[in-house]
Amino acid sequence: MFRSSLLALAFSAAATSALWAGEQFIDETGYAVSGYDVVSYWGLDQVAVGQSQPSPEKGRTSLTADYNGATFAFASEANRAAFLADPEKYLPQYDGHCAYGVAKGGKVPGNPTLWRIVDGKLYLNITKTVVGFWEEDIPGNLQLSESNWVGLEPAPASDSTIPKWSSDAPQVN
């Protein structure tokens, strides 16, 4: 009895988390995270602050999953399965919007190639210049972001494009 109640509570909490999440940022590709595989970030070696991160893997149009009203593409069936088992672990924070933009009080697009994992969470930023500002004080910017997100999350997702960048992901196959 106790075990089944605990299981029901856990399921309810997971469902509520997805239900109350804001809209994912979707760019011209029609995919969340511009068609890049959100699980692939965890297999990359993160570089020091101030250096460009390696690019995540491009997803494939034949390997997708819908979550929070958005379609996510994956590079492998294993990555898709990992996402489906625990989507909250892999989702970019702020529904794929720029972490520094949220710290400054707005929803602007997140570029999937400008990323950093901090305390087990994936953060995206919009431009290399913005990455520099964000990395000047990651803890302080995250504190501002978390505070601002409460009011920003219910607002519609950004409908802006990522400046001077376009995605060639996901791969068609």
14 found inside a domain: no
d(CA 160, CA 110): 10
Quick check: 119 pLDDT over 90?
Answer: yes
Question: Is 13 among the domain residues?
Answer: no
Residue 53: give the domain boundaries.
22-152
68 part of a folded domain? yes
Is 146 a domain residue? yes
pLDDT of 95 > 50? The answer is: yes
- The model carries a pTM of 0.87
Residues 80 and 65: their CA atoms lie apart, in Å, by 7
Distance CA 133, CA 48 (A): 15
The residue assigned the tokens 């501002």 is: 144
Asked if residue 31 belongs to a domain, the reply is yes
User: What single-letter DSSP state applies at residue 47?
Assistant: P
Q: Is residue 100 part of a domain?
A: yes
Any domain includes 157:
no
Q: For the chain, what is the domain count?
A: 1
Q: Which residues touch 160 (CB under 8 Å, ≥6 apart)? A: 108, 109
Residue 171 lies in a domain: no
Asked if the model's pLDDT at residue 4 lies above 60, the reply is no
